[in-house]
Structure 1
Amino acid sequence: MEAALVVLVVALALGFDYTNGFHDAANAIATSVSTRALTPRVALLMAAVMNFVGALLGTEVAETIATSIVNLGEAATRTELTVVLCALAGAIVWNLVTWWFGLPSSSTHSLIGGLVGAGLAGGLPIFWSAIVDKVVLPMVISPVVGFVLAYLVMVALLWVFRNAAPARTHRRFRLAQTASAAAMALGHGLQDAQKTMGVIFLALLAVGWAQPEDGIPLWVKLAAAGAISLGTYSGGWRIMRTLGRRIIELDPARGFVAESVSATVLYVNAFVLHAPVSTTHTITSAIMGVGATRRLSAVRWGVAKNIGVAWVLTIPAAALVGALATWALHPVLA
């Protein structure tokens, strides 16, 4: 029974990774497509490749997800696997709901919410202090840093190029966006694919098929990298329209700055802080930051408010679905 549950968890985790890819494809390429720096298909292909590469660059975020959210060491194996399975169900449901409405919510926080809700419903201890340090604080700080840093960099860039010919400057920044979009896609793979690795690692730890000191198995890395890349290439057009057009009409320079700042925030959190931050929150706040350099009214704050509501609801909504699934399945599977 345990072996079958592990297989089911792995399959559902890769399914979540796929939805993560098409849900968050817009994070990496919406700005480049909206400014016509890249065509949609070229942008998606580039993002898929860079997602795959980024997923193989580290495991620190995966290990945070596997060891710092829910304590799986004090329950029966079937209970542990049921919790992981139901956490994935909560994350996938919320991803699909927000994708349907075109809202760029966080796949990261939907997974963490699912883990917390399923863990509580399954009677497992939750590492609340680690969640505050590794999830809540970065969730609050990263968008603020993204907004402020993007605003300041854009102001500096406007001053440096204040006397430059607009047409030539736009052409150059369209070329530069190829690099910044690739950097953003690499950061997305680095952050988001690792979360799926962490969930699969949780299941393997629960049945003793892996040990914490051994790290993430290679096949888990490759499977997660492949799933998120396929999902990215399938596209996420609803959310892409929201990020690329509905918040603000972007020009190439602003698109370049938003992507570059977002990528920097993702790399710092992955390599330095080992914190699972949201690529969605980071790029959205950076787009708002560069947009505010025109004037505050240039940002469509009504759209931003709807996005903010989705952000706030993500963890509790995914937690609720994860808890309901656990209560429904636990008597059957445990």
Structure 2
Amino acid sequence: METLSLAVVVGAALFFTFTNGFRDAAGAVATSISTRSLTPRVALAMAAFMNLAGAFLGQGVAETVSENLIDPPAGGQGLTILFAALLGAIAWNLAAWRLGLPSSSSQALFGGLVGAALAGASTVHWDGVLTSVVLPMVLFPLVALLAGYLLMVGILWAFRRAGPHRAQRGFRMAQTVSAAGMALGHGLQDAQKTMGVVVLALVVADAEGEGGGIPVWVRITCAAMLALGTYLGGWRIMRASGRRVIELDPPRGFAAETTAASVLYAASYLFHAPVSTTHVLTAAIMGSGATRRLSAVRWQVAKNIVLGWCVTMPAAAAAAAAGYGLVRLVLP
């Protein structure tokens, strides 16, 4: 029975990763598509491949997710908590995708974990939630906002004497590289978050195996599902992350993607902090776009996006708590 429960939890984790591809990963190439540097299909295929590659570049984020947030009990009760957490995260991901709201799959996952743990009277490491989730979710987008602005100012100064058409053409080509870097950073971040949940499920079910770490099959399946979700969907989210926030040109698109990718790498390697690709990229877009003029940023749209960020964690937590109650009702 416990083996079946573990298989259900792993299946739910993989489906969450797939919805993450629908929800977040397409945002990695939204700016390149909005500036017409890449066609949608080429951009999504490239993003899917880079997501797959990024998933194999580290494990610090996965360790943070599996060790620093909740401590579910061993056995069936712990697996029920993890399943309910994933249910809550998936429910919010699908609802937000349906609404075209670029909220964060990462926040949905963390909200689901906390909500399910509280509903199941399990331990929540509030210090870990604060330092590993809440603070990075606030600070890294602010860093991206400022860095995107400063990088774009530097680009404007460095290319102040360049011909406009030549510069536009050059940055359109450069966006191929920056979009690839952004997608690689997304794979590095978001595939690992699901890996952390799967590893936690293996620990709870006492099926971790020798040597600890992340099993190769976990890396491959999580990376493949994220890449598949990236390639098959995400059009509604790309519209919200790209032109609706600001009309981007290739230099600003390059600045936003380069900034966001750099922030994701720093968060992953220097701090092992799980951060939201959606938050970081949108903040970088606003920062680079504000160099044109503050009024060029559609602040009402940005406000709606920020509202989605604020709602995501409590909404996913509530959905996970309800999911836990439902599972316990069906399987007491």
TM interval, short-chain normalised? over 0.9
Cα deviation for residue 212 of structure 1 reads: 9.0
Instruction: Give the aligned partner of residue 68 of structure 1.
Output: 68
Distance 1:302 1:100 in 2: 20
> What amino acid is aligned across from residue 277 of structure 2 in structure 1?
T
Cα 1:213/1:64, change in 2 over 3 Å: farther
Q: Are 2:287 and 1:302 aligned? A: no
Q: Give secondary structure in 2 for the equivalent of 1:36.
A: coil
Question: What do residues 244-287 of structure 1 show as CA deviations (whole Å, max 9, x unaligned)?
Answer: 11000000000000000000000011111000000000000000
Distance 2:204 2:291 in 1: 50
Whether the 8 Å contact between 2:267 and 2:273 is mirrored in structure 1 is yes
Q: TM-score, normalised to structure 2's length?
A: 0.98
Taking the TM superposition and a 5 Å limit, the aligned residue runs for 1:210-229 are 210=208, 214-229=212-227
Instruction: Give the aligned partner of residue 112 of structure 2.
Output: 114
Aligned residue among 270, 273, 278 for 1:272? 270
Instruction: Identify unmatched segments of 5+ residues in structure 2.
Output: none
Cα deviation for residue 213 of structure 1 reads: 5.5
Q: Using the TM superposition, name which of 91-100 and 219-228 deviates more.
A: 91-100
Question: What do residues 56-80 of structure 1 show as CA deviations (whole Å, max 9, x unaligned)?
Answer: 11111111111111112xx351110
Cα deviation for residue 25 of structure 1 reads: 2.8
Instruction: Give the aligned partner of residue 54 of structure 2.
Output: 54
Question: What do residues 297-334 of structure 1 show as CA deviations (whole Å, max 9, x unaligned)?
Answer: 10001100110110001110000000111112124435
Instruction: Give the aligned partner of residue 99 of structure 2.
Output: 101
Cα deviation for residue 214 of structure 1 reads: 1.1
Instruction: Give the aligned partner of residue 168 of structure 1.
Output: 166
Cα deviation for residue 206 of structure 1 reads: 0.7
Q: TM-score, normalised to structure 1's length?
A: 0.97
Distance 2:90 2:330 in 1: 21
Cα 1:212/1:143, change in 2 over 3 Å: farther
Cα 1:181/1:212, change in 2 over 3 Å: farther
Whether the 8 Å contact between 2:74 and 2:205 is mirrored in structure 1 is no
| Structure 1 stretches of 4+ moved >3 Å | 331-334
Q: Give secondary structure in 1 for the equivalent of 2:71.
A: coil
Whether the 8 Å contact between 1:258 and 1:283 is mirrored in structure 2 is yes
Q: Using the TM superposition, name which of 100-109 and 116-125 deviates more.
A: 100-109
Whether the 8 Å contact between 2:25 and 2:234 is mirrored in structure 1 is yes
Taking the TM superposition and a 5 Å limit, the aligned residue runs for 1:80-229 are 80-210=78-208, 214-229=212-227
Q: Are 2:29 and 1:26 aligned? A: no
Cα 1:212/1:323, change in 2 over 3 Å: farther
Distance 2:289 2:102 in 1: 17
Distance 1:22 1:212 in 2: 34
> What amino acid is aligned across from residue 313 of structure 2 in structure 1?
I
Question: What do residues 102-161 of structure 1 show as CA deviations (whole Å, max 9, x unaligned)?
Answer: 111111110000000000000101000011111111011011100000001101111111
Q: Using the TM superposition, name which of 322-331 and 179-188 deviates more.
A: 322-331
Distance 1:132 1:211 in 2: 30
Whether the 8 Å contact between 1:205 and 1:212 is mirrored in structure 2 is no
Cα deviation for residue 98 of structure 1 reads: 1.1
Over the matched positions of the two proteins, sequence identity in percent amounts to 57
Aligned residue among 232, 244, 250 for 1:234? 232
> What amino acid is aligned across from residue 13 of structure 1 in structure 2?
A
Distance 2:57 2:158 in 1: 34
Instruction: Give the aligned partner of residue 16 of structure 1.
Output: 16
Cα deviation for residue 202 of structure 1 reads: 1.1
> What amino acid is aligned across from residue 63 of structure 1 in structure 2?
E
Whether the 8 Å contact between 2:64 and 2:273 is mirrored in structure 1 is yes
Residue-pair matches, total: 332
Instruction: Identify unmatched segments of 5+ residues in structure 1.
Output: none
